[in-house]
C-alpha cells in the first residue's frame, strides 16, 4: 500500500449533518492550498446515489435514511427538473447526511440546489459548457461555501478553442499508453474547466474521471492524480449488474487506492444502491482504509471433506453478525480441522465443523462442542458474550490468536478421510492436504 496522495481537502455537510472531509494533506505552501493549513488525509468516504425520483419526497427521504443506516457518508440525488430542486429543502430538513445535487445540462438546477441548501454540487463539463453559466454556479457555491465536483466522464466533449492542438500535445505525452487519446481529452477538458474556477478564486473542488472500462479508470485517475492536487472521487460508471460490476469496480478502485490514489468512492450497480454502500465499505475495510464496524467473517470455501451444510451456516452467521455484532471482531467458520485452525489464525471466535458437529473456540480457548443444529445459536451467543467482554474491557480484540491445538482428527470431530490421512502422517500437521 502506498501512502495517500496529498490533496487540498474539501468539506461537505453542515453542523446538523456533520461535516465529511474529503482528501487532505496538501502542504500549506502548495500553490493550491490557498489558506488551508496543515491537514491530514481524511479516511476515504463512501458515497452513493438514490435510485428514485427526488421530487417524490417521502420515498427519497426513506431511501436516504436506508443508505445512511447502511453506512453511506454522503448521498447524491438527481435534480433533472425544477420539481426536484423544489423538493430539496424538505428532503434536507428530514435527513442527516450531507446531500449532493447531481446536475446535468441545466445550470439553473445547480443554482436552485445551492439556494435550497445542498452541501455540494456535481457538474459535468461535458454538458454544462457555457462559461457564463459555469461562472454563475461557481459564484453561488463560493458565496455559500460549498464545494463542487467536476465530473469528467468518458463521454464528455472537449470544447476549448485550442482543443485539437492541446489534445495533440497531450496525445504525444500519452502516446505510449493504450488509452492515450482518451487521457489527453480528459486532461485537456479538466485543465480548461478548472481554469474557469481558478480565475474566480475557487478551489473547493473534487475531480472524477469515470469510465465503464476499468483500465481507463486506472490510467485516467493515475494521470490526473499527478497533475491536480484536488481530492479524487473514484468510480467505474455504468459498471453493470452487481455480480460483474463488483469485479470491475473493485479491480479499478482497489488498484488506485492501493497506490494511494482516491479520497471518496462510489461503486455503481444496476441494483439497489444499498449494495454500493456495503461493497464500498467492505473494499475500504479490506484495504485497511477504514476502521471496520461490526464483525469480519472468515469462512472456508469448502471441499470434499465437508460434513456439514457450511454454505447455509455461513449465510446465517453473516446475517446474525450483521444484525447483532458491532465491534470489529474476527469470526471464522471453517469446514473441518484439516486446514481450519491454521487458516482461522487471528480469529477471535471460531468454529471448526466435523461430522455433523462443531467445535467452538474463543481466543484460543475451546468453549464448546455442539451438534450441527446448535452451531449457529452457540456461535452467536459466544460472539455476543465476547462483544460484551470487549466493551467492558475484560477482553481485547485480536489479543490471543487461534494458535489452538487442533482437535484430534480421530476424536470427536475427525472422521473418514481425515482419520486415514492423519494416521498416515502421524497426526502431526493439519496441512496434510492443503488447498
* Sequence-separated (6 or more) residues with CB below 8 Å from residue 93: none
| Nearest distance from C-beta of residue 381 to ligand SF4, angstroms | 23
Hey, what's the cell of 130? 457555457
**DSSP character string of 37-50:** -S--PPPPEEEEE-
CA distance 298 to 344: 7
The three-state secondary structure class of 422 is helix
User: Which of 99, 110, 214, 300 forms a contact with ligand SF4 (CB under 6 A)?
Assistant: 300
User: Which of 109, 149, 266, 305 forms a contact with ligand SF4 (CB under 6 A)?
Assistant: 305
Nearer to ligand SF4, 151 or 340 (CB): 340
Nearer to ligand SF4, 110 or 300 (CB): 300
| Nearest distance from C-beta of residue 221 to ligand SF4, angstroms | 37
Hey, what's the cell of 251? 479491480
CA distance 258 to 105: 35
> By the 8 A CB rule, do 308 and 358 touch?
yes
| Nearest distance from C-beta of residue 413 to ligand SF4, angstroms | 11
Is residue 303 involved in binding ligand SF4 (CB under 6 A)?
Answer: yes
DSSP state of 4: P
Hey, what's the cell of 301? 470455501
φ/ψ of residue 47, rounded to 5 = -115, 160
| Nearest distance from C-beta of residue 146 to ligand SF4, angstroms | 51
Residue 300: strand pairing partners: none
Is residue 37 involved in binding ligand SF4 (CB under 6 A)?
Answer: no
| Nearest distance from C-beta of residue 414 to ligand SF4, angstroms | 11
Q: Mask of contacts with ligand SF4, 331-370, x by CB under 6 A?
A: ---xxx-xxx------------------------------
Hey, what's the cell of 430? 493439519
**Residue of closest CB approach to ligand SF4:** 335
Nearer to ligand SF4, 80 or 342 (CB): 342
Stretch that binds ligand SF4, among 141-149, 297-305, 311-319, 406-414 (CB under 6 A): 297-305
| Nearest distance from C-beta of residue 412 to ligand SF4, angstroms | 16
Stretch that binds ligand SF4, among 176-184, 275-283, 300-308, 386-394 (CB under 6 A): 300-308
Is residue 422 involved in binding ligand SF4 (CB under 6 A)?
Answer: no
Residue 337: strand pairing partners: none
Q: Which of residues 318-337 bind ligand SF4 (CB under 6 A)?
A: 334-336
Is residue 121 involved in binding ligand SF4 (CB under 6 A)?
Answer: no
> By the 8 A CB rule, do 144 and 130 touch?
no
Hey, what's the cell of 314? 455461513
Stretch that binds ligand SF4, among 74-82, 132-140, 252-260, 303-311 (CB under 6 A): 303-311
Beta strands in 109-257 (DSSP E): 120-123, 148-151, 205-208, 233-234
Residue 365: strand pairing partners: 362
User: Which of 301, 393, 424, 426 forms a contact with ligand SF4 (CB under 6 A)?
Assistant: 301
| Nearest distance from C-beta of residue 349 to ligand SF4, angstroms | 16
- Mark out the alpha helices in 95-154 (DSSP H runs): 107-116, 131-144
Nearer to ligand SF4, 57 or 421 (CB): 421
C-alpha distance from residue 343 to each of 94, 140, 310 (Å): 46, 56, 16
CA distance 233 to 102: 14
Edge-to-edge strand ranges of the sheet holding 148-151: 205-208, 148-151, 120-123, 99-103, 74-78, 45-49, 264-265, 233-234
| Nearest distance from C-beta of residue 353 to ligand SF4, angstroms | 8
Is residue 435 involved in binding ligand SF4 (CB under 6 A)?
Answer: yes
| Nearest distance from C-beta of residue 13 to ligand SF4, angstroms | 45
- By CB under 6 A, how many residues form the interface with ligand SF4? 13
Q: Which residues bind ligand SF4 (CB under 6 A)?
A: 300-303, 305-306, 334-336, 338-340, 435
Amino acid at each position: 500500500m502506498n501512502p495517500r496522495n496529498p490533496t487540498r481537502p474539501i468539506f461537505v455537510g453542515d453542523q446538523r449533518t456533520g461535516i465529511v472531509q474529503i482528501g487532505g494533506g496538501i502542504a500549506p505552501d502548495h500553490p493550491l492550498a490557498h489558506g488551508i493549513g496543515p491537514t491530514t488525509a481524511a479516511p476515504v468516504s463512501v458515497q452513493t446515489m438514490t435510485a428514485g425520483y427526488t421530487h417524490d419526497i417521502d420515498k427519497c427521504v426513506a431511501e436516504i435514511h436506508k443508505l445512511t443506516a447502511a453506512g453511506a457518508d454522503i448521498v447524491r440525488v438527481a435534480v433533472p427538473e425544477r420539481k426536484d430542486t423544489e423538493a430539496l429543502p424538505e428532503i434536507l430538513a428530514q435527513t442527516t447526511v450531507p446531500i449532493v445535487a447531481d446536475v446535468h445540462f441545466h445550470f439553473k438546477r445547480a443554482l436552485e440546489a445551492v439556494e435550497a441548501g445542498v452541501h455540494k454540487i456535481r457538474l459535468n463539463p461535458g454538458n454544462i459548457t457555457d462559461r457564463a453559466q459555469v461562472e454563475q454556479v461557481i459564484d453561488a457555491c463560493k458565496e455559500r461555501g460549498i464545494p463542487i465536483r467536476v465530473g469528467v466522464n468518458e463521454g464528455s466533449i472537449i470544447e476549448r478553442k485550442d482543443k485539437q492542438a492541446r489534445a495533440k500535445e497531450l496525445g504525444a505525452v500519452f502516446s505510449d499508453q493504450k488509452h492515450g487519446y482518451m487521457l489527453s481529452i480528459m486532461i485537456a477538458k479538466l485543465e480548461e474547466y478548472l481554469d474557469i474556477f481558478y480565475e474566480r478564486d475557487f478551489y473547493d473542488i473534487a475531480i472524477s474521471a469515470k469510465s465503464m472500462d476499468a483500465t481507463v479508470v486506472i490510467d485516467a485517475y493515475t494521470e490526473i492524480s499527478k497533475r491536480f492536487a484536488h481530492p479524487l472521487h473514484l468510480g467505474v460508471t455504468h459498471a453493470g449488474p452487481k455480480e460483474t460490476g463488483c469485479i470491475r469496480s473493485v479491480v479499478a478502485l482497489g488498484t488506485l487506492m492501493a497506490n494511494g490514489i482516491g479520497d471518496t468512492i462510489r461503486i455503481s450497480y444496476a441494483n439497489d444502491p444499498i449494495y454500493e454502500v456495503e461493497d464500498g465499505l467492505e473494499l475500504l475495510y479490506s484495504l485497511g482504509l477504514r476502521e471496520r464496524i461490526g464483525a469480519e467473517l472468515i469462512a472456508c470455501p469448502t471441499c470434499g471433506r465437508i460434513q456439514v451444510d457450511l454454505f447455509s451456516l455461513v449465510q446465517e452467521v453473516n446475517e446474525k453478525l450483521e444484525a447483532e455484532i458491532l465491534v470489529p471482531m474476527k469470526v471464522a467458520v471453517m469446514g473441518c480441522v484439516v486446514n481450519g485452525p491454521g487458516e482461522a489464525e487471528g480469529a477471535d471466535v471460531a468454529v471448526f465443523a466435523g461430522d455433523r458437529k462443531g467445535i467452538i473456540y474463543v481466543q484460543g480457548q475451546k468453549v464448546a462442542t455442539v451438534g450441527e443444529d446448535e452451531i449457529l445459536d452457540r456461535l452467536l451467543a459466544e460472539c455476543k458474550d465476547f462483544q460484551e467482554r470487549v466493551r467492558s474491557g475484560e477482553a481485547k480484540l485480536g489479543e490471543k490468536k487461534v494458535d489452538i491445538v487442533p482437535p484430534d482428527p480421530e476424536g470427536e470431530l475427525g472422521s473418514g478421510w481425515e482419520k486415514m490421512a492423519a494416521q498416515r502422517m502421524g497426526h502431526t500437521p493439519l496441512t496434510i492436504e492443503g488447498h
